[in-house]
Chains A and B, each alone.
Chain A
Amino acid sequence: MKDISLSIASPAAASPLQKAGAALTACAILSSIIAAFGAGTSNPLLFFFLITGLFISGGIFYSIPYFKAQAGIKNDGIMQNSLSSRGAIAWGIAILMTGFYIILYWFPYYLEGLIRTMDPLSMMLRNKASDQWFLYGAFYTLAVLIMGMRFIAKYKFSRYHIIRTISVMFFQLGFAFLLPAFLLKLNQPEFYFSYFWPLKYSYLFPNDIDYLIQSGNLGVFMVFWGLVMTFIATPVLTYNFGKRWYCSWVCGCGALAETLGDPYRQNSDKSLKAWKIERWMVHSVLVFITLTTALLWLNSWKSGTILGDASGLFSQWYGFLIGSVFSGVIGTGFYPIMGSRVWCRFGCPMAAILGLFQRFKSKFRITTNGGQCISCGNCSTYCEMGIDVRAYAQKGENIIRASCVGCGVCSSVCPRGVLKLENLEEEGRFIPYIRHEDKK
């Protein structure tokens, strides 16, 4: 049968406030381009305030209608809107974002003017001129904060969403942006306390550890912190709360996906085939990074004799392929086309480890409420990880999947209140609901 939605006219247009918000954001992008072409070098402060001011006011205007509306699910028109349903606007944004990443990684000199607009902020925070990574960090954090505000407005009926969004905004701003900058100012190593091996793979590489230890007491603490988080905190927290404690409460990649990526969450692929590809890919990355780490240690133990420079090359390639291309260009640039968690789902080795714990040794599950599911499909549609939640719910089974980041949106959009994220006893979490009358 033909695709019914094609015959559907677009719903009533977005409110004037939202149009104004979109226009302001467009102006912010335009100003950034003008700045990049050189204007930012001559007038850094002016362009800094212009760009951030426009982005922030755009975000505020865009969010006001959500704050004013009756609390509840706000998904009207998503499938008919070009932005959120892979229309021309979505492709435009995807090209813009991907282009930004490509220039950022490989041709940063084209961004010179834009980088200079961040000098005043960079000097203030780190006593150091801005560079492309500082610019990226600033934009990234700004996106999380602005779109985080929008997310809170949109899901204002749910304290779970409000609290976890404040949490990711806090960790992004504090631990991934301000603290590392401040450490630089104090002449300490630039360290990210909210990232651990294997996501921040180099934190367990011999070179990084040597460097940290040599840099003093704080450096030693950083090494200690990294080890504790990877080997103790990760399993313990994941056992008690599921992978969500990291993926949708702390992690910066998750933060961007949940905020900037929220308008695109429905574009994740839910097919069985996608699930197969996902498992292959994400576990391959995990094996790859574990192997790399092991090799590097072996090499350093034998003082570089067995591998020569090969192990270094290995890690460089990993950094390029996974660290840059995958997590940045595809992971974020393709949001509007492939959904918001492409990286988290197909590429993140941290997600792979957390997922294995969650699937096999954890108290976390999404409980299905008896036989209440009406198979409507809202949960599956809005799962950013591409989990076919309905397939479990309609059978009365709990949802226990390695990839679930515990964002809780499936539970929010379910019109029958069927789903609840919770941490209960490990025992019995796989037992499905059976009607009392059918028990024999």
Chain B
Amino acid sequence: MNIVIIGNGITGITCARNVRKLDSNASITVISGETEHFFSRTALMYIYMGHMKFEHTKPYEDWFWKKNRINLIKAYVKSLNSKDKTLHFDNGESIAYDKLIIACGSVPNKFGWPGENLHGVQGLYSIQDLEQMERNTKNISSAVIIGGGLIGIEMAEMLHSRKIEVKMLVRENFYWGNILPREEAQLIGKHISAHGIDLQLNTELKEIISDDQNRVKGVLTNKGEQFECQFVGLTAGVKPNIGFLEKHELETERGILINEYFETSIPHIYAAGDCAQFRNPKPGEPAIEQLWYTGKMQAETLARTICGDKSAYNRGIWFNSAKFFDLEYQTYGQILPEINDQQKSFYWEHPNGKHAFRANYSSKDESISGFNFIGIRFRQIIAEEWIREHKTIGFVIQNLKKGWFDPEFSKAFYNDISHSYLQSLKSGNEE
């Protein structure tokens, strides 16, 4: 079996590794135009900030690929011919496949803002973007970031580490307000401001202003304010990187359309990771999953199907994590910005504004549906078990210690949290 994978990101590589584990005879080839070897995209910020070099972000040593007989090709796939099952590269070469896996990832969103193609304006996704950012931010003093999401805050931290002044334009009332409940968003917003980032809430980009050399010299907001800057970071989300499939009959919408087996509209072609879009996502789940974790889980499932054990994707209980400057954040289950009328929510925050806890639960049977932890590390297996087994909020609060994952000797807050919960019960009863 000749398996060809487009993309050497977490999805493509996890697929290749798992196929190799299940089938020692398959021929496996991974193609990528970005880098020769797999690296961790999530660590891009640390290269810029000088915590690591590029080589540190490679999860496997370079001999690994040969030893596991995973062929690597560095080239961009220009076109796909699904009739004779071949791929054509930008360098004129081509390759044939029996089974094709497309895991080509994302590119930063652009929304047709005036000036979005000026020098000094860019997104951050690839290693080439990082190199460009290096050039674009050399000897500059101020920058504006458009979009208050996870990549935006990473970019802010990167620029901040080089003593560049940063303004962030955020469309919502609060930082990451489309994902986080108001309290968490406010807490994180304060933390970001304490690090010297100027958060401009309720603000949208109207135009990026150019100097006479086609370089950015400032931005204009929808409120009519003008901010001077020499760099603009576009971080309003990402979208599937499927430009090379534009003229192809493969069915796409925003991403490559797939079913729960990662099968596309054409036999023997599969897609997974950031570039894939589920035709029929389960209720409450997004059609496109743009995460490291989901890329990995999707690829593990797909590898089984490829090797003959047809398996449907089940991503299990939702989880995610991030870090905002020095604040760690973990979430398990489902926490939306607002609860619905069948839910209740308990929130606790430490007076120092660096630790917070939220649990959402059903107002009917008190069963737990999700957690947010800020400045607290918590065991994933415990949080998931409680959600899966519909434990009640009372049980959860009493047993928080079981899942506590903060380093030894740190101050633990489970007693404070349970205190605060009992308090809230009392005051609730009195009302």
Chain A interfacial positions (CB closer than 8 Å to B): 1, 3-5, 7-9, 11-12, 70-73, 75-81, 157-160, 163, 271-272, 367, 369-372, 374-378, 380-381, 390-391, 394, 408, 411-413, 415-417, 420-422, 433, 435-438
Could you tell me if A1 and B35 are in contact, using CB atoms closer than 8 angstroms? yes
B405 within 8 A of A: yes
Instruction: Give me 13 A-to-B residue pairs in the complex whose CB atoms sit less than 8 angstroms apart, sorted by A's number.
Output: A1-B127, A5-B50, A11-B50, A11-B163, A73-B326, A79-B47, A369-B379, A377-B56, A394-B59, A417-B405, A420-B406, A420-B407, A420-B408
Residue ID in chain B nearest A406 by CB atoms:
B408
Contact of A421 among B36, B50, B322, B407 (CB under 8 A): B407
What is the minimal beta-carbon distance from B267 to any residue of chain A, in angstroms? 27
Could you tell me if A437 and B316 are in contact, using CB atoms closer than 8 angstroms? yes
How many Cβ-Cβ contacts under 8 Å join chain A to chain B? Answer: 168
Could you tell me if B321 and A416 are in contact, using CB atoms closer than 8 angstroms? yes
For the complex, count residues of B whose C-beta is within 8 A of A.
62
Residue ID in chain A nearest B60 by CB atoms:
A391
B293 within 8 A of A: yes
Q: In whole angstroms, what is the CA distance A151 to B293 when docked?
A: 34
Contact of B379 among A78, A159, A370 (CB under 8 A): A370
Contact of B138 among A9, A158, A271, A433 (CB under 8 A): A9
Contacts A70-B195, A163-B409 known; A436 to B384 CB distance under 8 Å?
yes
What is the minimal beta-carbon distance from B146 to any residue of chain A, in angstroms? 24
What is the minimal beta-carbon distance from A71 to any residue of chain B, in angstroms? 7
Beyond contacts A9-B138, A376-B42: 4 other A-B pairs, Cβ-Cβ < 8 A, are: A157-B326, A369-B380, A371-B293, A421-B407
Could you tell me if A417 and B321 are in contact, using CB atoms closer than 8 angstroms? yes
| B300 partner residues in chain A, CB cutoff 8 A | 438
Contact of B49 among A1, A3, A77 (CB under 8 A): A77
Q: In whole angstroms, what is the CA distance A238 to B58 when docked?
A: 33
What is the minimal beta-carbon distance from A152 to any residue of chain B, in angstroms? 14
What is the minimal beta-carbon distance from B43 to any residue of chain A, in angstroms? 4
Contact of A159 among B377, B380, B409 (CB under 8 A): B409
| A370 partner residues in chain B, CB cutoff 8 A | 319, 379-381, 384
| B409 partner residues in chain A, CB cutoff 8 A | 159-160, 163
Could you tell me if A160 and B408 are in contact, using CB atoms closer than 8 angstroms? yes
Could you tell me if B321 and A375 are in contact, using CB atoms closer than 8 angstroms? no
Contacts A4-B131, A376-B46, A420-B377 known; A415 to B57 CB distance under 8 Å?
no
Q: In whole angstroms, what is the CA distance A358 to B336 when docked?
A: 44
| B127 partner residues in chain A, CB cutoff 8 A | 1, 4
Could you tell me if B321 and A378 are in contact, using CB atoms closer than 8 angstroms? no
| B194 partner residues in chain A, CB cutoff 8 A | 70
| B78 partner residues in chain A, CB cutoff 8 A | none
Could you tell me if B134 and A76 are in contact, using CB atoms closer than 8 angstroms? no
Q: In whole angstroms, what is the CA distance A408 to B384 when docked?
A: 26
Could you tell me if B163 and A12 are in contact, using CB atoms closer than 8 angstroms? yes
Q: Which of A75, A367, A376 has the most CB of B within 10 A?
A: A376
Could you tell me if A79 and B53 are in contact, using CB atoms closer than 8 angstroms? yes
Could you tell me if B326 and A72 are in contact, using CB atoms closer than 8 angstroms? yes
Residue ID in chain B nearest A423 by CB atoms:
B408
Q: In whole angstroms, what is the CA distance A316 to B296 when docked?
A: 56
Residue ID in chain A nearest B137 by CB atoms:
A9
Residue ID in chain A nearest B44 by CB atoms:
A376
Residue ID in chain A nearest B315 by CB atoms:
A437
Could you tell me if B379 and A81 are in contact, using CB atoms closer than 8 angstroms? no
Interface string of B298-329 (1 = CB under 8 A from A): 00100000000000001111010111011010
Contacts A411-B407, A417-B405, A421-B407 known; A377 to B323 CB distance under 8 Å?
no
B402 within 8 A of A: no
What is the minimal beta-carbon distance from B226 to any residue of chain A, in angstroms? 26
| B315 partner residues in chain A, CB cutoff 8 A | 437
Q: Which of A70, A79, A422 has the most CB of B within 10 A?
A: A79
Contacts A78-B50, A374-B40 known; A71 to B326 CB distance under 8 Å?
yes
Contact of A376 among B43, B293, B296, B405 (CB under 8 A): B43
Q: In whole angstroms, what is the CA distance A367 to B323 when docked?
A: 20
Interface string of B28-50 (1 = CB under 8 A from A): 00000001110010110011111
B162 within 8 A of A: yes
Q: In whole angstroms, what is the CA distance A73 to B328 when docked?
A: 12
Residue ID in chain A nearest B154 by CB atoms:
A415
| B57 partner residues in chain A, CB cutoff 8 A | 376-377
Could you tell me if A377 and B407 are in contact, using CB atoms closer than 8 angstroms? no
| B322 partner residues in chain A, CB cutoff 8 A | 416
B71 within 8 A of A: no
| B130 partner residues in chain A, CB cutoff 8 A | 4
Q: In whole angstroms, what is the CA distance A245 to B423 when docked?
A: 41
Contact of A416 among B134, B138, B328 (CB under 8 A): B328
| A416 partner residues in chain B, CB cutoff 8 A | 321-323, 328, 330
